[in-house]
Amino acid sequence: MMLDGFYQEGLKQGFWHSGERILLAVSGGVDSMVLLHLMLAAAEKSGCVIGVAHVNHQLRPESFDEEEWLSRFCEEKKIPFYSKRWGIKTPVQGMEAEARAFRYNFFEEVMRSDKYSMLMTAHHGDDLAETIIMKLTRGSSLLNMSGIKSSRSFGKGRLVRPLLIFSKDELKLIAKERRIVYFEDSTNFSDWYFRNRIRHQVIPKLKEENAGFLKHTADFSCQVQYAAELIEEVVKGVYAQGVQEIQDGWRFDLKMLENKSRAFKYFFFQNLLQQTLIPEKVEIKHEQLERLVDLVSGQAPQKQLSFENDWLFIKEYSQGYLRKRTQVKAAEEVYFLEKGQGIFLSETEWLGFETPDELLEFPKKVKEWQTKELAVSSQLTGPLTIRRRKNGDRIALTEKLTKRVNRLFIDRKVPDSLREKAWLIFNNHQELIWVPGFANSYLSIPQETDKIHYRLLYITKE
């Protein structure tokens, strides 16, 4: 009956195709040995081709005998057998995660080299419940609370878990009825590992409380997966429209969130961070998402929120950014420019001081860049001083009105990131005459008596 249920579920999921190459992850324990025997029957019935991949973690003396027995079994059944040994032999912190990464890297290597399209693991209903309880205990997002998915992409193929429809007790019953040989891993009885403590001390109590606990857990997992898919459908349009990858991170338009609910903003940012910072090994917590929503919903025009590994969320008026924090502040940059000269201020900025008598020859790479120019009086003499903004810098907008450059930026809602990059150009009397892209001083305006004008050319790669 259980074999028929297994086979019918495989038909429903589209597993059984003649010639389909399926790699089985087999440890030698009861779960994976039951999977192997069920797949032997399924392969004979459907015409699919199976192989066995085994990792010897070398944590127990008997693991070598188990590896040898499994190798002989596969040889007798004419099943391709692939094995690899893990080097770490003593328990260390994070060993479970390292061992798992080793296994799945090995499985992917075998799939790629021998052209398997599917990897099957022996995770069952109890494993699903354990995973959900562990995530709930440690803290996890809703989108990750579905636990173990029955199918997902893996490498260039799929990873499937066909035994999720069975409990551990049902698998043991199959092994008993079919007299399947399997090995007990002594480490499974130790409460050294968090999962084992959940398995031995928590799950049995919940089963006693409600015989349908595993079924309810599976239903919950399914509902969470549906919710995650629905959330993705709702936010992906806004994400695709408003998020842009830039050289040093990501930029997005905050105006698209103005009329959205708090719940929408929360899951938008959760989706954003899942696709941007999570791959960068940055852990995102619920409290950070709540603060992020508060930040973009608040009245402050500019604000920042720190994440792990020196990542920053930056709000600058209607724009949002995810960027790495600058580790070392660049040394103060000061340049001097004479008439008839041009200089690179950076890899993407060039400044020239042109007169009718000394026309500039532009560098080849700047000819396609964007140009801002300022006509100035021929009374202007060099050298000009070009530097970044300092506290107290002022610009004379008219003969009677001067304004602090910082105040000018605030009034014009210039983001901090642009303020830091702005150049200030001073005449030979150290009077500010131009902030390219933002403002120029009345001192730079040619007089009516000027018959000849000079030009300042600020050329940038947009």
Give the pLDDT confidence score for residue 91 in this predicted structure: 53
Inside any domain, residue 357: yes
Please tell me the total count of domains within the chain. 3
Inside any domain, residue 234: no
Span 358-379, pLDDT tens digits: 788 888 888 889 999 888 877 7
Span 129-150, pLDDT tens digits: 999 998 888 877 787 787 788 8
d(CA 221, CA 219): 5
Inside any domain, residue 14: yes
More reliable by pLDDT, 454 or 444: 454
What average pLDDT score do residues 386-397 get? 89
Asked if 216 and 277 sit in the same domain, the reply is no
More reliable by pLDDT, 303 or 107: 107
Asked if 123 and 155 sit in the same domain, the reply is yes
- Say if residue 90's pLDDT is above 60: no
32 confidence band (pLDDT: 50, 70, 90): very high
Asked if 27 and 128 sit in the same domain, the reply is yes
Asked if 309 and 349 sit in the same domain, the reply is no
d(CA 90, CA 95): 9
Sign, CA dihedral 56-167-93-146, equals: positive
Say whether pTM exceeds 0.85. Answer: no
Inside any domain, residue 83: yes
What's 275's domain CATH number? 3.30.465
What range defines the domain where residue 319 resides? 247-324
Task: Check: CB of residue 54 under 8 Å from CB of residue 70.
Answer: yes
Cα→Cα distances 363→281, 289, 339, 413, 459, Å = 42, 47, 17, 33, 11
Burial tier of 59 (Cβ tally within 10 Å: 0-12, 13-18, 19+): middle
What average pLDDT score do residues 65-77 get? 95
Average pLDDT, whole number, for the chain? Answer: 87
In the listed set 324, 347, 371, which residue is the last one of a domain according to the structure?
324
Asked if 278 and 338 sit in the same domain, the reply is no
Inside any domain, residue 235: no
What average pLDDT score do residues 251-279 get? 90
Asked if 318 and 342 sit in the same domain, the reply is no
Give the pLDDT confidence score for residue 170 in this predicted structure: 92
94 confidence band (pLDDT: 50, 70, 90): low
Inside any domain, residue 227: no
In the listed set 298, 324, 350, which residue is the last one of a domain according to the structure?
324
Inside any domain, residue 228: no
Asked if 15 and 134 sit in the same domain, the reply is yes
Those residues whose C-beta lies under 8 Å from the C-beta of residue 239, and which sit 6 or more positions away, are 268, 271, 272, 275
Q: Whose structure tokens read 């290597």? A: 109
Is the previous residue joined to 383 through a cis bond, with omega within 30 degrees of 0? yes
Asked if 68 and 160 sit in the same domain, the reply is yes
Inside any domain, residue 393: yes
263 confidence band (pLDDT: 50, 70, 90): very high
Asked if 358 and 311 sit in the same domain, the reply is no
What's 201's domain CATH number? 3.40.50.620
Asked if 84 and 176 sit in the same domain, the reply is yes
Asked if 317 and 356 sit in the same domain, the reply is no
Asked if 12 and 113 sit in the same domain, the reply is yes
DSSP secondary structure, 93-146, as one string: TTHHHHHHHHHHHHHHHHHHHHT--EEE----HHHHHHHHHHHHHH---GGGTT
In the listed set 221, 238, 269, which residue is the last one of a domain according to the structure?
221
Q: Lowest-pLDDT range, 53-57, 168-172, 336-340, 442-446?
A: 442-446
d(CA 144, CA 282): 15
